[in-house]
Amino acid sequence: MAQTLIHFSGHHHLRLRLVLSILSGKPLKIDKIRSDDKNPGLRDFEISLLRLLEKVTNGTVIEISVTGTALLLKPGIISGGPITHDCPLSRSVGYFLEPIVLLAPFSKKPFQITLKGITTDDQDLSVDLFRTVTLPHLQPFGISDGLELRIKKRGAPPAGGGEVQFLCPVVKQVKTLNFVEPGKIKRIRGIAHAVRVSPQFSNRMIEASRSILNRYIPDIYLYSDVYKGEESGKSPGYALSLLAESTTSVLYCAEAVSQPGVAPEDIALQATRALLAEIEKGGCVDRQHQTLVLLMMVLGSEDVGRCRMGEPTPRTIQFLRDVRSFFGTSFKIAPADPLDKESSQLLYSCYGTGYINANRTLA
Amino acid sequence: AQALTSGSRRRKDWMKLIYSSNLTPEEVVAGKEEQMEDDEDEDVDNEDFFRIKSVAKREEDEEVDRSKERVNSEELKRLEDEEMLDSLRRLFITGGSTQE
């Protein structure tokens, strides 16, 4: 079957493009990967991601040019099963988990993947938010039973040493989403963790965060997560991850990670304000999960899926363009409240491609 | 990013910006207007099959593929204001329905 080769240039948006290629089964070619850079070619974490994708699939062919500036991916089927992967210390586990979460529901066998490395950093979502926010986002699409992320060990940068296990069930087809009612915030939850530093830091963060949040609602529970000894990784660090849930189960999240020379109180305030900023933007999906929800909408059954969200981030805009290249699906994007001039919320709708997990039927 | 928060509330035509413009995603969000079809490619009629995006223009910063959105520090400053914090009450169940 001669298939069209999808072609891109540059290292940007690599992860989602790889995911789209594997899901759509269309080969992908990327060239000019940092070709003008002092240090050209793929980075170690990108190579590691390609290795990981090779492990979770069967029959995938990946060719990398000698200089590392060009890449050809011929996707195979998503096979899943028990896998262990050591993530390099240049990126956190979240970097690798994000594409895995998108692929796992469409696997031949359920995923049982163990990832080792840094569990929380300031570039990708921490494992706490993956567990409490990202995974529940899959529920409306019919992916819920047996979906789990276990945080076995924490690992702060730079030395890491953390370990998580991700379990995902296999679905035949995802449901159509119809999520347009943001509701009001009814509860706030948070996880403060501190490893290899005084456990008092967690409490200080919780106290500082409450000084802002207590005025809004009584249902606030900020949990101090204690990991000791071996389980706490190799480097010191702490972070506060917050999430707010609305009456219609919308989840907003934000977090802040320890920085040298910054007091835990300030980290907590940063996280809290970021959460409020996210709440203020409104919509049914926060900014970090736009691409996840939009992808599942594209893959949904052949019906019109709708979702209300804030303005797209740069990452989302590129993702929407890439989706059209791979699946030919474009979204209709219209103001959610045409009468309200102040509102910047948008209604995204698309006709699902009726993607069927063909890998599963082979089993 | 300032343009987003400031009062310039002219509606963007997102579909046009996303699907039929050559702006980079960053430029779209920053609210940059597209130079209307006059400049650069005179040879528009050759196949725009591969949709070459203006990646080359972007300087090679080490802008990484990250899933956590950067938090705008201006926006955080704005949220230090007590009145601002109070105005958010409407978004919580306890906030009641302030006059619509």
Q: List pLDDT tens digits, range A323-336.
A: 999 999 999 999 99
The list of chain B residues with pLDDT below 70 reads 1-10, 34-63, 96-100
- Residue of A188, A289, A333 to mutate, testing the B interface (most B Cβ within 10 Å of its Cβ): A333
Task: Give the C-alpha separation, A346 to A293, whole Å.
Answer: 14
Inter-chain CB pairs, A–B, below 8 Å:
128
- How many domains are contained in chain A? 3
Q: Is there a domain that residue B100 lies in?
A: no
Under 8 Å between Cβ of B22 and B54:
yes
Task: Give the C-alpha separation, B78 to B72, whole Å.
Answer: 10
Tokens at residue A248, please? 């219609």
The answer for B 32-91 residues in CB contact with A (under 8 A) is 50-53, 55, 60, 63-69, 71-72, 75-76, 79-80, 85-86, 88-89, 91
Angle between helices A44-56 and A93-103 in degrees, nearest 10? 30
Kindly list the residues from chain A whose CB atom is less than 8 angstroms away from the CB atom of residue B4: 311, 344
Boundary-marking domain end, from A236, A263, A281: A281
Under 8 Å between Cβ of A253 and A129:
yes
- Residue of B15, B66, B81, B87 to mutate, testing the A interface (most A Cβ within 10 Å of its Cβ): B66
Q: Is there a domain that residue B50 lies in?
A: yes
Boundary-marking domain end, from A21, A42, A77: A77
Per the structure, the complete domain to which residue A251 belongs is given by 185-281
**pTM for the predicted model, two decimal places:** 0.90
Q: Is the peptide bond before A158 cis (omega within 30 degrees of 0)?
A: yes
Per the structure, the complete domain to which residue B10 belongs is given by 2-61+68-95
Q: Is there a domain that residue A352 lies in?
A: yes
Q: Is the dihedral of CA B5, B8, B10, B12 positive or negative?
A: negative
| A260–chain B Cβ distance below 8 A for any pair | no
Kindly list the residues from chain A whose CB atom is less than 8 angstroms away from the CB atom of residue B24: 314
The list of chain A residues with pLDDT below 50 reads 1
Tell me whether residues B94 and A122 touch, CB distance under 8 A. no
Helices (H), chain A: 14-24, 44-56, 93-103, 127-129, 200-213, 264-281, 290-299, 314-327, 358-362
Tell me whether residues A324 and B63 touch, CB distance under 8 A. no
Boundary-marking domain end, from A244, A259, A281: A281
pLDDT tens digits along A163-189? 999 999 999 999 999 999 999 999 999
pLDDT tens digits along A23-53? 999 999 999 999 888 889 999 999 999 999 9
Residue A34: CB partners within 8 Å, gap ≥ 6? A10, A11, A40, A41, A42, A69, B60
Do A332 and A301 share a domain, yes or no? yes
| A320–chain B Cβ distance below 8 A for any pair | yes
The pLDDT of residue A338: 86
So what's the ipTM on this one? 0.83
- How many domains are contained in chain B? 1
In degrees, rounded to 5, the angle at the alpha carbon of residue A142 between the alpha carbons of residues A138 and A148 is 50
- Tell me which DSSP letter residue B92 carries: B
CATH number at residue A9: 3.30.110
Q: Is there a domain that residue A143 lies in?
A: no
The burial of B25, by beta-carbon neighbours within 10 Å (0-12 exposed, 13-18 middle, 19 or more buried), is given as: buried
Q: Is there a domain that residue A343 lies in?
A: yes
Kindly list the residues from chain B whose CB atom is less than 8 angstroms away from the CB atom of residue A37: 60
Closest by alpha carbon to B69, among A239, A287, A126, A276?
A287
Which residue bears the tokens 């974490």?
A45
CA A226 to chain centre: 24
Tell me whether residues A312 and B75 touch, CB distance under 8 A. no
| A15–chain B Cβ distance below 8 A for any pair | yes
- What is the three-class DSSP state of A257? strand
Backbone angles phi, psi at A192, to 5 degrees: -110, 130
Strand order in the sheet with A162-168: A81-86, A111-117, A162-168, A148-153
Q: Is there a domain that residue A175 lies in?
A: no
CATH number at residue A264: 3.30.360.20
Indicate the residue of A95, A122, A216 with minimum beta-carbon distance to B94.
Answer: A216
Do A269 and A294 share a domain, yes or no? no
